[in-house]
Amino acid sequence: MDRDSLKYRFPDTLNQQKRIFGLPPEEAFVLLLCGGIGFFCDLFIVMLCVGAALWLFIRHLKKGQGSWWLLNLLYWYLPTVLFRVQFRRLPDSGNRHWMQ
């Protein structure tokens, strides 16, 4: 395609997210991490099976939700130190005060 025709090209959906090997980033990260650990520990097949089980678990948790939903779930239920880089301006998830 020439340059002018690329200017008017639209994605299939307006909220099309990034994909890594055809998977959303959080699902691809799990598979790549388990595959990498398995490669270096000589347990490649076993860790790919573990990665596949984790991948199915993540897909079950998301079930129609987007990637940000999973990140928000992790923010509320894991320690704040793990997400200080991603959520710089948000308060700690442990400060749950009800407004009256």
Contact status, residue 31 vs residue 44, Cβ threshold 8 Å = no
| Percent of the chain residues past pLDDT 70, beyond the cut | 73
Each domain of the chain, given as residue ranges in start order, spans 25-82
Nearest to 56 by CA among 30, 38, 91, 36: 30
Could you read off the pLDDT of 61-95 as tens digits, one per residue?
888 777 778 777 777 787 777 777 766 777 776 67
The pTM (predicted TM-score) of the whole model is 0.61
- Does residue 1 sit in helix, strand or coil? coil
Q: How many CA atoms lie within 13 A of 89 on its CB side?
A: 0
**What are the φ/ψ torsions at residue 23 (nearest 5 degrees)?**
-115, 150
Res. 16 pLDDT band, cuts 50 70 90: low
Q: Which two tokens stand for residue 35?
A: 């595959």
